Amino acid sequence: MRQKIILDCDPGHDDAIALLLAARHPALELLAITTVAGNQSVEKTSTNALKVCSVAKILNVPVARGMHQPLLRPARFATDIHGESGLDGPELSSIAPLPLASQHAVDLLIELLLQSDGDIILIPTGPLTNIAAAMRREPAIVPKIQAISLMGGAISVGNVTTSAEFNIWADPEAAAIVFACGRPITMVPLEVTHQALATEEIIQRLRAMGRPVPTFVADLLHYFADSYRQVFGFPAPPIHDPCAVAAVIDPDIISGWEMHVAIETQGEWTLGRTVCDIYGKTGLPANARVGYGLQVEKFWTLLLDTFQAYD
């Protein structure tokens, strides 16, 4: 039996790679792709998701456009990392995007979850606005969620401020709703994703496959590498979002601790921080499994084998 999933994303280079992994890996059944404002506007992230689907011939998965801004705050984008299109680098101007689903993403999330047998895992790789909005509009979906595997947060140092990781910082109120929902959550933080470095060797292995999809991934990573070198000084780019997909395919690929995670929504210096109670100081029950380690070789084997399978 394949695991049913919904990918909620904001493509974004690493979101695009996560989408390609989610759509092709034989252990997963991708029911829908929902898009949200994050790395770029929801109009651009939706177009990017549709173009990725077009490149990879992912034809039978609905792509639904979601929330255009956070629950309580203006939208803030990651143009310095992902460019003006949100997916700068590969030449996509000639790629005709597939059509959007007629439903709003929040409506589609609610419909699919209410119709389910509680066997759908949500994989959010952007701000959690769509997920939180769906929970607020229809609380009956919450017990229908099998689990949530999200890319976001950090145990220690952030990447958009000294305290916060981008996805949580972009909509901390939504993150607070999701972390308080009571469903099993795997949090894949920067401590994990910064181990998933797409080295030049990885990029060359993708190009050596000689197929359109692996070449497209290599082109994405080439741009992403330049961004991370210029902004953060990284020798190779970390591909954050596929780690949350890999954690569903093989839960043992990420080592983690059970702990309570609170979301800072008011701090002057700490807005968007995932406050991880590693030592149980609050006395609050654990609400997430927080990753700290990644089986790096196993992770890249999983990704490369999946991309090799594309025609």
Question: Which active-site residues does the annotation give?
Answer: 10
Pairing of strands 254-263, 120-124: unpaired
Other Cβ atoms within 10 Å of 157 Cβ, number: 13
Integer CA distances (angstroms), 278 to 26, 257, 288, in order: 35, 8, 11
Residue appearing with tokens 């101007």: 93
Strand, coil or helix: 124: strand
Q: Considering Cα of 228, then 230, then 231, then 232, what sign does the dihedral take?
A: positive
Show the 3-state SS of 256-291.
Answer: EEEEEEEECCCCCCCCCCEEEECCCCCCCCCCEEEE
Helix residue ranges per DSSP H, the chain:
13-24, 42-56, 79-82, 105-115, 129-137, 166-170, 172-179, 190-193, 200-208, 212-231, 242-249, 296-308
In the three-class reduction of DSSP (H, G, I as helix; E, B as strand; rest coil), residue 199 is classed as coil
Integer Cα distance of 95 and 246 in angstroms: 28
Task: Kindly give, in sequence order, each residue whose CB lies less than 8 Å from that of residue 118, ignoring residues fewer than 6 positions away.
Answer: 143, 144, 145, 146
- Burial-class residue 93 by CB neighbours within 10 Å (0-12, 13-18, 19+): exposed
